Amino acid sequence: MKKLVDARGLSCPLPVLKTKEAIEKGGEEIEVLVDNNTALENVTRLAQSRGFKVTTNKNTDGEWQILIKRGE
């Protein structure tokens, strides 16, 4: 099942911390919502460093959906 981390509006480093917690709880597929470029970059970097595949979609102006999946 896909997990959702809604990190919109949260200060640094909470988007990363919440994504990390979702990964450590055994998340194989996680959807992260962020609303600033810094969080987008930080969450992407974290997921890639843990061996996840990352795809990002720009939802509206200034909001992104980051899909992270355990790589093959």
Our answer to whether residue 51 is catalytic in this structure is: no
- Bridge partners of 61? none
Stretch that binds other proteins, among 4-12, 26-34, 64-72 (CB under 8 A): 4-12
- Of positions 36, 52, 64, 66, contacts other proteins by CB under 8 A: 36
Which of 1, 25, 26, 49 contacts other proteins by CB under 8 A? 49
Site for other proteins contains 14 (CB under 8 A): yes
* Cα-based distances in Å from 38 to 12, 25, 44: 8, 24, 10
**Residue 17, number of CB atoms within 10 A of its CB:** 15
Question: Which phi and psi angles does 45 have, rounded to 5°?
Answer: -65, -40
What's the closest the beta carbon of residue 45 comes to other proteins, in angstroms? 6
Q: So which residues are the catalytic ones?
A: 12
